[in-house]
Amino acid sequence: MERISWHQYFMAQSHLLALRSTCTRLMVGATIVRDKRIIAGGYNGSISGGKHCIDEGCYVIDNHCVRTIHAEMNALLQCAKFGVPTAGSEMYVTHFPCLNCCKAIIQAGIKKMYFATEYKNNPYAIELFEQAGIEVEQVELEEMILDTQNQEKLTFTANLLSQLEKLGLEEKELQTLKEKANKLYTSS
């Protein structure tokens, strides 16, 4: 079995962190890495011990939930809280950072920022990253590589569809099944 790349490993970690999010609008995770070691992680949610959106609903002002702290900020604050320097590190985020997080990433000395999904990419944030000399790269998570039995599942499904075709399943029905299988095995 081939090992996954570092980019996929750290992006998978960010997606895993996002599963802890208490935001009902968008689940985001962020991982800070230095020398191929995770130094902090965060997800978007309320302050420690505070009310959560999943329990109380979002507290929206000017189309923004003010109850949550963004994943990037939570990861940076974790470093600050425990005295872990962030200068020269890299950040992996599930979604492109908002303008405020962009500025915090720059001020924290992050040298590279990787994101999986474009999300309201603010042109000024992009400009600020460029001005600060921060390398920004999209690294989409390849979910299929996280499934160690992926190849076996693909082979089984292909064989099953082939057998249904040989048994004379109506072409329209077979095509519908092929499309459903394809959706299961492709990234969203």
Known catalytic membership, residue 142: no
Q: What is the DSSP annotation of 83-96?
A: T---TT-EEEEEEP
Q: How far is CA 63 from the centre of its chain?
A: 22
Extract the tokens encoding 94.
Answer: 């599930």
b/e burial code for range 83-112 (CB count within 10 A of at least 16 → b): eeebeebbbbbbbbbbeebbbbbbebebbe
H helices present in 19-110, as ranges: 53-56, 71-82, 99-107
Calpha distance 75→91 (Å, rounded): 9
Residue found by looking up tokens 């790349």 in the block: 5
Contact 42, 22 (CB under 8 A): no
Coil/strand/helix, residue 36: coil
Q: Which of 2, 56, 72, 130 is catalytic?
A: 72
Contact 40, 76 (CB under 8 A): yes
Which among 65, 79, 82 has a CA at the least distance from the CA of 107? 79
Catalytic residue positions, numbered: 72
